[in-house]
């Protein structure tokens, strides 16, 4: 398959809700295979379709390196619906809750997340699935579903960390309105 460029925070596709998948086509199967390749090349643990500029409600994940993740630590979810507990943005542990994002490369900030999360949806064959996790897997399920709803993790930060994130984004030039992408194989960002 192929490694696709990853959209950066200034890209409009990251700030709009995605569309429900009505039918899994060969095009969608190719997209998912490319998403796994892209996630692996970028050394990520999750990737939503809109992070590669496609507005379908799909994400892939791979938390297999976390021994606490369990048997459902790698997969794809089509049309995920998230269940989680409510969390205050001020409850992030500055030492233990750092989160990063392939669409905000090189940055990480303490991000409050529920200790537990579950997504329900379907696999590529239309079978109903439910993925439940705590720790890294739970965080990943929440993070990727946020992407599909048009939200980035930096929106969930405390006021102080939001300011730090805005400064880092401005310093890197990502607030530019032109379409921004980065190539995970070269680790270089470009404005198109």
Catalytic residues: 144
CB 132 within 8 A of CB 118: yes
d(CA 14, CA 8): 8
147 labelled as ligand-binding?
Answer: yes
140 is in an annotated binding site: no
| DSSP classification of residue 185 | T
Cα separations in angstroms, 22 against 28, 38, 76, 126: 11, 24, 16, 10
Task: Say if CB 110 and CB 160 are below 8 A apart.
Answer: no
Q: Are 140 and 100 in contact (CB under 8 A)?
A: no
For residue 57, give the nearest of 3, 119, 135 by alpha carbon.
119
Q: How far apart are CA 118 and CA 137, in angstroms?
A: 10
143 is in an annotated binding site: yes
What's the chain's Rg over C-alpha atoms?
16
Q: Which of 49, 52, 67, 38 is nearest to 134 (CA)?
A: 67
Known binding-site positions for Fe cation? 101, 143, 147
């Amino acid at each position: 398959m192929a490694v696709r460029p990853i959209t950066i925070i200034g890209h409009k596709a990251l700030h709009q809700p995605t569309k429900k998948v009505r039918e899994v086509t060969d095009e969608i199967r190719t997209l998912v295979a490319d998403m796994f390749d892209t996630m692996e090349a970028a050394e990520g643990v999750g990737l939503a379709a809109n992070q590669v500029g496609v507005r379908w409600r799909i994400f892939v994940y791979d938390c297999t390196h976390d021994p606490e993740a369990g048997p459902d630590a790698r997969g794809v979810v089509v049309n995920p619906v998230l269940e989680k507990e409510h969390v205050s943005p001020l409850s992030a542990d500055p030492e233990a809750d750092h989160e990063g994002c392939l669409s905000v490369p090189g940055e990480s900030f303490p991000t409050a997340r529920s200790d537990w999360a579950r997504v329900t949806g379907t696999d590529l064959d239309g079978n109903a699935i439910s993925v439940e996790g705590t720790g890294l897997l739970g965080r990943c399920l929440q993070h990727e579903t946020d992407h599909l709803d048009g939200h980035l993790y930096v929106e969930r930060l405390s006021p102080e960390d939001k300011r730090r994130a805005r400064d880092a984004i401005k310093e890197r030039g990502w607030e530019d309105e032109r379409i921004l992408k980065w190539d995970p194989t070269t680790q270089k960002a470009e404005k198109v």
